[in-house]
Amino acid sequence: MGFTLYDDENNSIYDRPVTSTSHNRQEDIPVSSEISEIVFSGSSDGFHGSFIVRDSDGSAREFHCTNCLSNSPTMDLKNIYIDTDMNGDLDLPDTANCQNSCRFVSGELTSTPFLDGSRLFVRETSHRLKALA
């Protein structure tokens, strides 16, 4: 599993290439900019892990998946299962299922319904919240 962190101007602020990781490995990754987006990439080995993003005050921040599989128990960044062949357990609680790669964005998601022919779909978009000076 690998991932890239982006700031609000879409600059890469941290990149970890796809590598194997050991069971129960924990790692803190400090970055100098606020994280606005996280893109995870996987391999055929499959990976299940938990993630928490904290702000400079130590408060947990919310991230939501924009392209996780529709069978995911959640679209929130709590736990992710990422795999190229998706041959593992797809019903893990509070887990976003990602095939090959997935993108998580900060902020709140809103749903916009739209029609495509006779089928109704919902498009989810992220709204980043920023404080005004």
Does any domain span residue 50? yes
pLDDT of residue 121: 53
Widest pairwise Cα distance in the chain: 49
Q: What is the pTM of this model?
A: 0.79
Does any domain span residue 66? yes
- Fill in the DSSP letter of residue 80: E
Domain housing 115: 2-21+31-127
Does any domain span residue 133? no
Q: How large a percentage of the chain has pLDDT more than 90?
A: 59
Taking only the tens place, the pLDDT of each residue in 33-46 is 999 999 999 998 88
Comparing CA positions, the residue from 33, 37, 4, 55 lying closest to residue 106 is: 37
Q: At residue 130, does pLDDT exceed 70?
A: no
Does any domain span residue 35? yes
Residues 6+ apart with CB under 8 A from 129: 107, 108
